[in-house]
Amino acid sequence: MQISPSILSADFANLQTELDRISSADWAHVDVMDGHFVPNLTLGLPVVEAICRVSPVPVDCHLMIEDPDRWAPRYVEAGARSATFHVEAARDPRALARALRAAGGRAGMALKPATPWAPYAELLPELDMVLVMTVEPGFGGQAFMADQLPKVRQVREAVRRHGGEVWVQVDGGVSARTIEECAEAGADVFVAGSAVYGAEDAAAAVGELRDLVAQHRH
């Protein structure tokens, strides 16, 4: 079980300090948005490279961009330990996942809420993580979409049958109120933006999310 706070809700004017606030987490989740794949624009390679240089925890890049086949491996080369592309944007998801691993990163594949899992299940052996979006990608602070939990269950079941070590990540509206149902459905990597960065004490918020999942498992 891993907690990956999304810096989308951080103060971008003080990224170093904001990264230090989540040093008790497992990852720093960095949302790259290009203004085309999603109607929002955040940051790109130079900023990710700078974040990777100073982050106290490994960087988990969520690429909400067009043409990930071309750009995603560059984020691993910039220092991201994990890079997740959107299957809706990829020309050749199998080749792209292989390219991410060849670059030395973990290969993640994300599904928007309207994208089903079944057509992509055969890609599982190429993947280290599947991200099931629990909001429409583009903005932080949106309401959690509980109707995505059956998809989380399908992915978890496929991972169980496959037998490999593939993580199942949820992203969007994950908070102390919703994290247990995500865990119950089979998620094991939890992205939380506003729930962590909106808290006075980010480390306490990370600890609370961790405890809720741990208690749930007992």
In this chain, which of 73, 93, 105, 138 binds ligand 5RP, going by CB under 6 A? 138
* β-bridge pairing 106-111 and 129-133: parallel
**Closest to 152 measured CA to CA, from 194, 110, 192, 123:** 110
Scanning residues 54 to 73, which ones bind ligand 5RP (CB under 6 A)? 62
From the candidates 26, 31, 34, 128, give the one annotated as an active-site residue.
Answer: 31
First to last CA, the chain: 13
Closer residue to ligand 5RP in complex, CB, 66/98? 66
- By CB under 6 A, tell whether 149 contacts ligand 5RP: no
Tokens in use for 174? 């994950």
Binder of ligand 5RP out of 2, 24, 115, 142 (CB under 6 A): 142
Find the catalytic residue in 60, 92, 171, 211.
171
Query: Does 31 help bind ligand 5RP (rule: CB under 6 A)?
Result: yes
- Residue 24: both structure tokens together: 């008790």
Total chain residues near ligand 5RP (CB under 6 A) = 22
**Contacts with ligand 5RP, 175-194, as mask; x by CB under 6 A:** ----------------xxxx
Amino acid at 140: G
Distance CA 134, CA 20 (A): 26
**CB-count burial class (<10 Å; 0-12, 13-18, 19+) for 44:** middle
- 137 forms part of the interface with ligand 5RP (CB under 6 A): yes
Question: d(Cα 218, Cα 214) in Å, to the nearest integer?
Answer: 7
**Active site members:** 31, 171
Footprint on this chain of ligand 5RP (rule: CB under 6 A): 6, 8-9, 29, 31, 62, 135, 137-142, 171-174, 191-195
